[in-house]
């Protein structure tokens, strides 16, 4: 690998990593869809496969922008950038490991309801890895004032949060409980009657108790806390870097199989506090 001389080189490397991640996820998702039992979960995974294909195309655009910004490839850079700019060959080991872990658990003998919960857990681990990667890359792009690049990365970041949020709702709202009661058929009625009474915020499960402001992008990157737009019900501004809204406070905390209800507070003071890293990854 060629020496990375500055933050832009590192951004290109991060984008290359994300590209590999999306490629691997596109390959892995069909197996998860096949294994899933719950129709809503199957549908969510199928939709995320479509979204992931678009994310990969978006990274193609990011690559173009990085090239168009006058950083045409010097011959000596073609080593580590060859994957980014069409050469291929780079594989994101983090994603590879998470997918392998997921395939391993899906290979275990378990009730179908338990399988659904396991698939969600595996998918969310991958989502969190992507959230970290996209958040970091966006922060790099903002630091480099590559706002078009940051905008594209932010679009995908929002989609990853939305997917993660949906998986949390499915798990905490119903599927975890169905897995809990999968082996005692007589309690099926109990599952149905109590599922709606769950309070997601109190189920810490495999959570990291984080929120939007807690990705790696927030760590040591002064611009990152300024730029997030919330996905989901509180989604609003897509412009990176401009509005100092409280990214962490406006988005529901959706990391892990747990959820802390989003607070509506958006004061700048709160935004500053919320941007502090809380994620222990
Ligand atoms: Fe993705």
In whole angstroms, how far apart are CA 19 and each of 2, 42, 92, 143, 250? 19, 24, 8, 21, 28
Spatial distance between the Cα atoms of 140 and 217, rounded to a whole number of angstroms:
8
Q: Does domain 7-186 have CATH number 3.40.50.300?
A: no
How far apart CA 276 and CA 281 sit, in angstroms, is: 14
Q: How many CB atoms lie within 10 A of CB 276?
A: 12
143 Cβ contact partners less than 8 Å away, ≥ 6 residues apart = 7, 221, 222, 223
All residues at 6 or more sequence positions from 214 whose CB lies less than 8 Å from its CB, including other chains: 208, 248, 255, 277, 278, 279
Q: How far is the CA of 272 from the centre of ligand 1 (A)?
A: 28
State the distance from the centre of ligand 1 to the C-alpha of 226, rounded, in angstroms: 23
So where are the chain's domains? 7-186
CA of 127 to the centre of ligand 1 (A): 7
N-terminal to C-terminal alpha carbon distance within the chain? 26
The rounded Å distance from CA 53 to ligand 1 centre is 8
- CA diameter of the chain: 68
The pTM for the full model equals 0.68
Which residues 6+ apart lie within 8 Å of 68 measured at CB? none
How remote is the CA of residue 48 from the centroid of ligand 1, in Å?
8
If you search the block for the tokens 């890359």, which residue do you land on?
Answer: 137
Q: pLDDT of the chain along its 281 residues, tens only?
A: 678 989 999 999 999 999 999 999 999 999 999 999 999 999 999 999 999 999 999 999 999 999 854 555 444 344 444 444 444 578 999 999 999 999 999 999 999 999 999 999 999 999 999 999 999 999 999 999 999 999 999 999 999 999 999 999 999 999 999 999 998 864 555 544 444 444 444 333 345 444 454 444 444 344 443 333 333 333 334 444 444 333 333 444 444 454 444 444 444 444 334 444 444 33
């Amino acid at each position: 690998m060629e020496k990375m001389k500055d933050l832009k080189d590192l951004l290109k490397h991060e984008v290359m990593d994300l590209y590999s991640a999306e490629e691997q996820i596109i390959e892995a998702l069909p197996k998860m869809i096949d294994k899933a039992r719950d129709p809503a979960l199957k549908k969510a995974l199928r939709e995320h496969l479509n979204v992931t294909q678009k994310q990969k195309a978006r990274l193609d655009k990011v690559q173009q922008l990085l090239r168009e910004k006058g950083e045409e490839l010097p011959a000596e850079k073609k080593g580590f950038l060859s994957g980014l700019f069409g050469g291929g060959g780079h594989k994101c080991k983090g994603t590879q490991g998470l997918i392998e872990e997921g395939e391993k658990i899906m290979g275990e003998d378990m009730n179908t309801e338990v399988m659904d919960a396991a698939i969600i857990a595996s998918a969310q681990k991958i989502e969190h890895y992507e959230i970290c990667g996209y958040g970091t890359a966006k922060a790099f792009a903002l630091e480099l004032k590559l706002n078009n690049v940051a905008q594209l990365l932010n679009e995908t970041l929002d989609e990853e949060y939305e997917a993660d949020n949906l998986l949390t709702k499915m798990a905490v709202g119903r599927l975890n409980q169905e897995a809990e009661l999968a082996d005692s058929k007589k309690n099926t009625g109990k599952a149905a009657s109590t599922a709606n009474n769950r309070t997601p915020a109190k189920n810490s499960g495999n959570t990291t108790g984080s929120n939007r402001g807690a990705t790696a992008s927030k760590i040591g990157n002064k611009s990152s806390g300024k730029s997030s737009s919330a996905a989901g019900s509180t989604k609003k501004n897509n412009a990176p870097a401009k509005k100092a809204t409280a990214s962490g406070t406006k988005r529901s905390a959706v990391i892990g199989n747990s959820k802390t209800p989003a607070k509506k507070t958006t004061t700048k003071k709160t935004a500053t506090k919320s941007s502090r890293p809380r994620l222990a990854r």
